[in-house]
Structure 1
Amino acid sequence: MRLLAPLIGRRARLRWLHLIIGGALLMPYFLVGTVLVSMAGGGAGLFSSVPAQLAAFACALPMVAVSGFFPLVRPLSVAAARALCGVPPALLADGPARTRQARVRTTAWFTLHLGLGGIVSGITLALTPFALAVMGLPFSAALRDSWLAAGSSVLVEPWALALAPLAGLAMLVAMALVAAGAGELLARRVPVLLGPTPEDRLAAAERRAADLAVRNRLARELHDSVGHALSAVTLQAGAARRVLDRDPEFVRRALTAIEETTRRTVGELDAVVGLLRRDEEPGDGDAAYGPGLDALDGLLAHCGVPVAYEREGDPGDPRVVVPVVSREAYRIVQEGLSNVLRHGGGGTSPVRLLIAVRERELEIVMENPPGERPAVVRPGGGRGLRGIAERAALLGGRSEAGPYEGTDGSTWRLAVRLPLTAHGEERS
C-alpha cells in the first residue's frame, strides 16, 4: 500500500478531487467554446469530432484567463488549494488580488487549474468505464457481444481476452499517474502563483508594524496611567501612615487624594482594557479616548506633590491644541509627575510646571529639585523618560531631561516641545 500511496493515498485523492473541481468549473467555458466552434464549422459532428472538441477547449482557456482577473478569484482558489492540495497555509496569500502582479499570477493559476482539471476530468470520465469494460470482457458474454457488434473482433480473440484484465488495470494505473502528476504540478505552482507578492508582503509588514505601534501605544498608556497612580497612592499612603496619630486632617486629605486618583485610573484602565478586548484591530477612532490638557487641574490637585502651575495661552482649548497633542501632553505631564514622586525627595519638593502655547508648538517645562534617592522604588526601573521621548517623537516633537542650572540653583528639568498639529490634523 505504501507503493500505491502516491497514486491512491489521501493526498493524491484530494488533489484528484481538486482537479475534478477544476474540470467542473471549466464546463461553462467549454460549452461556450462549443457554440463558437459549432457556429464556425456548421455544427456537424461536434461531439464526435476530437479536433472540434480540442478547438472548443482552446477557445475556453482565454475566457478562463479573463475571468481570473476578478479580485475574488484568488481567495476562492486559495481556499480550495489549502483544503485539497496539501500545501502549508502560510505559503498562500490572503484576501482578494488587488495589485496587477497579483491578478496576473491569479489568472495564470486559474487557467492552469481549469485547463489541467478539464484534461484530467475528461480522462477520468472517458477512461474509467472503458477500462472497466475491458477488464470485464473475459467474464461477460454480453460485453463480448457488444464489442463484436461494434466491429472490435480483435478484442474477443482468446489471447486478447487473456490480457484484457491486465490492459484495463494498466489503463487505470496510467490514469492515476496522470492525475497524480497533474496534482503534483499544481501543488508545486501554488506557492508561486497564489503566494504573497512583494506588494502583499509589504502590506503585511505594514499591518504588523501598525499592530505593533498600537500595542506599544497601549503599553505606554498603561505604564503612564497606572504607574503614576501607584506612585501617588504609595506616597500618600506612606505619608498618612507616618502622621496618622498627629494630624488626622492630613490623613483625611491623603485618603481623598488616593480615592480620586484610583477612581480616575480605574476609568482609564477600563478604556485601555476595552480596546484590548476588541476582536478587530483598533483604528484611528480608538485613539480618541483618554484625558487631555483640559483635565490637567484634576491631575495636579491629587498628584501627591505641590505644583506651581503656569500657563501661557489656552492649552485646554481643542481649537488651539488638537486632541491628539492634548492627550499626549497630558500623559507627558503625568509621567513627569510620576518621576518626581519616585526620584524627587518623597513628594515634598515643589514642582514648577509651565505649559505654553507658542506660534507653532506646545512647550512643556517641568522643574524640581533633584532628590537624593527614589521615593518609590520599582524593581527593574521604569520607562518614564524613554516613554516621554517616544511620545514626543511620534508627534514630530522632541524632549530633553537632565540637570539644569537655573536662577534658583541646580534643578532637574524636563522640557518637551510638541507641534500644535500632528498626523495631518489641523486646528479649526
Structure 2
Amino acid sequence: MTRGFRPLLRGSTYAGALFAYCGALVSLPLLPFAALPALAWPSAPEGVRIVLTVLVWAVLIGVLGLARTTRRVLIACARRMLGVPLPDLAAESARSAAPGADRLRTPLWLLAHVALGWAGAQSAVLLVCAGLLLPGGWAGAEAGVSVRGWSLRPEHGWQSWAAALGCLLLAVVLCLAVTGALRWLAPRLLGPSSAERLALAAERERALAERNRLAHELHDSIGHTLTAATIQAAVAGEVLGADPEAARAALRSIEESTRAALEDLDYVLGMLREEQTGTAPPRSLADLPELLDRLRHAGAVVEPELSGDFTRVRGTAARAAYRILQEGLTNALRHGAGGPIRVTVTATPDALRLSVVNRTGPGGDSATPAFPTSGHGLPGLTERVRLLHGEITAGPDGPDHWRLTARLPVRLPA
C-alpha cells in the first residue's frame, strides 16, 4: 500500500509534469502565426477556423521539431527533468543519413509533449481551483463548481471537504500520469534510431580500438625503458669504482632512455585527453639505431643484419615494426641467458621481415625472468600483426635459442 503512494511523493514526478507544462507554454509564441490563416478567412464558420488554427499550430510545432538543435535540447531536458537515460546523439553523418521515418520521431515527440502539457495543465488548474473553492468557507454561501454545463455542488459541509480532497488528489495523480506518459515516450521518440545505434556502436568500437592501441604503445615503450634502465643502473653500480667512464656512459644511456619514454608517455596521455601535444610522433623504424644503441649501453651484445631500404617504410607498418623489435629485444634482455642478440630486418618491395634471436638455456626454455612481466607483450604484438594482415611466430629455435619472427606486408613508395 505504501509502495503505491511512493511515486506521488517523489519530486521527479512533479518535475516531469512541470516539464510537460513548460512545453505547452513554449508553444504559445507560435499561436499568433497559426491564427493567421483563420483571420484571413473571416467568412468561415467558427468551428472550421478553430480546427484550421489548431492544425496550422500543430504543423508549426512539428516543423520546429525537425531542427537538430531542438532535438539536442529536448534530449538534454528529458535527461534532466524526466530522469530518462538517453544516450548522446550519434555522428552527424549518421543523423543526416537517417531515413524519413526516423527524422519524424522528434516532431512526434514535440507534438505529444505539447498536447500532454496543455491537457495536463488545464486539467490540473481546474482540479486545484476546485479543491480550493469547494469548501463552503472559501466559495461563499453556496459551494460548487460548474464547467460548461457540468456542475459539482455538494450539499453538506463534509461532502465539500471530501470533494475538495478528491480534486487535489486527482491533480496529483494527473501529474503522475503525465510524467509516466512522457517517460514512456522519451526512449521511443528521442532515443537513438537504428542508424544512430549503428553509429554509436561503431564509435564505441573505434574508441576501444584506439585505447587498445595506446595501451600497446605504453606497454611497449615503458616496459622496454624500465628493463633497459634497470640493467644499465646495475652495470653502472658494478663498474662505478673500477671504470667511472663506463658508469657515466650507462647513466647517460639511462637519461636518454627515460627521456624517450617520457616523450612516448606524453604522446599517449595527450591522445587520451584528445589534446594536441607538442611531442614527437610514435617511434618508427627510423628510430631503430637509437634503440640498438641503448641496448649496447645496457651491456647487451647486439648483432644487427639490415638489408633493403627499410627507411622508406612509412606509416603504420613502420611503427608496428619498431614496436615488434622493441618487444623482442626487451624480452631478450628480460629472459635471455646472455650471449649476442641477432636482429634481422629485411625490406623487400612487398614485405618487411623481422627477426630477433637470443640465447636462452639448455632445452630451449627461457631463463627465469629477472623482472615481473604482465604477459601482454606477445598477445599485443600478435594483435598488431593480425590487424596488418601479417604473420608472427615466437618459440624455441634449436636447443638453446628463442626466435621471434614477423612478416608485415608493405608497399614501398616508388
TM-score tier by shorter-chain length is: 0.7 to 0.9
Residue aligned with 2:192, SS:
coil
CA contact (8 A) 1:332 1:388 kept: yes
Matching residue's letter, 2:317: V
Tell me which residue corresponds to 1:39: 40
* Corresponding residue for residue 420 of structure 1: 410
Q: Per the alignment, do residues 411 and 54 of structure 1 end up closer, same or farther by CA in structure 2, a change over 3 Å counting? A: same
The secondary structure found in structure 2 opposite 1:302 is: helix
Confirm whether residue 109 of structure 1 aligns to residue 106 of structure 2: no
Q: Contact (CA 8 Å) 2:8, 2:173: kept in 1 or not?
A: yes
Is structure 2 residue 306 aligned with structure 1 residue 311?
yes
CA distance in 1, matches of 2:140, 2:89: 55
Look up the SS of the partner of 1:387 in the other structure: helix
Q: What is the aligned partner in structure 2 of residue 400 from structure 1? A: 393
Q: Which residue of 2 aligns with 1:17?
A: 18
Structure 1 partner of 2:74: 77
Check if 1:323 corresponds to 2:315. yes
Contact 1:61 1:111 in 2 (8 A): yes
What amino acid does structure 2 have at the position aligned with 1:23? Answer: A
Q: Which is further off, 213-222 or 109-118?
A: 213-222
Contact 2:335/2:368 (8 A) holds in 1? yes
Amino acid at match of 1:231: T
Alpha carbons of structure 1 residues 43 and 4: separation in structure 2 relative to 1, 3 Å: farther
Q: TM-score, normalised by structure 1?
A: 0.77
Distance 1:121-1:350 versus aligned 2 partners, 3 A rule: same
- The residue that corresponds to 1:93 in the other structure is 87
How far residue 337 of structure 1 moved from its aligned partner, in angstroms, is: 0.8
Alignment gaps of 5+ in structure 1: none
What's the CA shift string for 1:372-422, capped at 9, x where partnerless? Answer: 5537523355433222222222223221122335xxx9643221112326x
Is 1:387 the equivalent of 2:380? Answer: yes
Q: CA RMSD in A?
A: 3.9
In structure 2, do the counterparts of structure 1 residues 108 and 42 end up closer, same or farther at CA, with 3 Å as the change threshold?
Answer: same
C-alpha distance 189-155 of structure 1, shift in aligned 2 (>3 A):
closer
Q: Name 1:355's counterpart in structure 2.
A: 345
Closer/same/farther in 2, CA of residues 273 and 133 from structure 1, 3 Å limit: closer
What's the counterpart of residue 299 of structure 1? 291
- Which ranges of structure 2 fall in alignment gaps of 5 or more residues? none
Render the CA deviation track for 1:125-166: whole Å, top value 9, x for unaligned.
66766775666797548x99xx9xxxx9x9999959997776
CA deviation string 1:169-212 (max 9, x = no partner): 65555455444323321122222222233433333333332222
- Per the alignment, residue 221 of structure 1 pairs with 217
SS at structure 1 position matched to 2:313: coil
Q: Deviations over 1:200-226 (max 9, x none)?
A: 333333333222222222222222112
Alpha-carbon distance change, 137 to 35 in structure 1, aligned in 2, over 3 angstroms? farther
Pair 1:57-2:54 in alignment: yes
Alpha carbons 1:6, 1:12 under 8 Å: kept: yes
* CA displacement, residues 290-319 of structure 1 (integer Å, 9 cap, x when unaligned): 222112111111213222222222222xxx
259-268 vs 291-300, greater mean Cα deviation: 259-268
Cα deviation code 1:334-360 (max 9, x no counterpart): 1111111112213xx112222222112
Q: 1:271 to 1:54 in 2, by over 3 A?
A: same
Matched, 1:237 2:212: no
1:72 is paired with a residue of what secondary structure?
helix
Q: Which moved more, 1:78-87 or 1:128-137?
A: 128-137
Matches of 1:363 and 1:273 in 2, distance apart?
31
Distance 1:33 1:398, change over 3 A: same
CA contact (8 A) 2:267 2:279 kept: no
Deviations 1:235-269 (A, max 9, x none): 23334444555555544443343333233323323
Report the CA distance shift for 1:54/1:286 in structure 2 as closer, same or farther (over 3 A). farther
**Cα distance in 1, alignment partners of residues 313 and 356 from structure 2:** 19
- Displacement of 1:113: 0.6
Q: Indicate if the aligned counterparts of 2:154 and 2:160 stay in contact, CA closer than 8 A.
A: no
Alignment counterpart, residue 330 of structure 2, candidates 317, 338, 348: 338
**CA, structure 1 residues 209+393, in 2 after alignment: closer, same or farther (shift >3 Å)?**
same
User: How far 1:42 sits from its partner (Å)?
Assistant: 2.9
The share of aligned pairs that are identical, in percent, is 33
Distance 1:287 1:325, change over 3 A: farther
Change beyond 3 A, Cα 1:295–1:200:
same
Larger displacement relative to structure 2 (262-271 or 164-173): 164-173
Give, in whole Å, the separation in 1 of the partners of 2:267 and 2:259: 13
Question: Please, what TM-score do these two structures have when normalized by structure 2?
Answer: 0.79
SS of equivalent residue, structure 1 residue 196: coil
Structure 1 residue matching 2:310: 3-state secondary structure: coil
In the alignment, the residues of structure 1 paired with residue 194 and residue 181 of structure 2 have an alpha-carbon distance, to the nearest angstrom, of: 23
> Residue 42 of structure 1: SS of its match in structure 2?
coil
Give the superposition deviation at 1:84: 2.2
**1:111 to partner: Cα distance:** 1.5
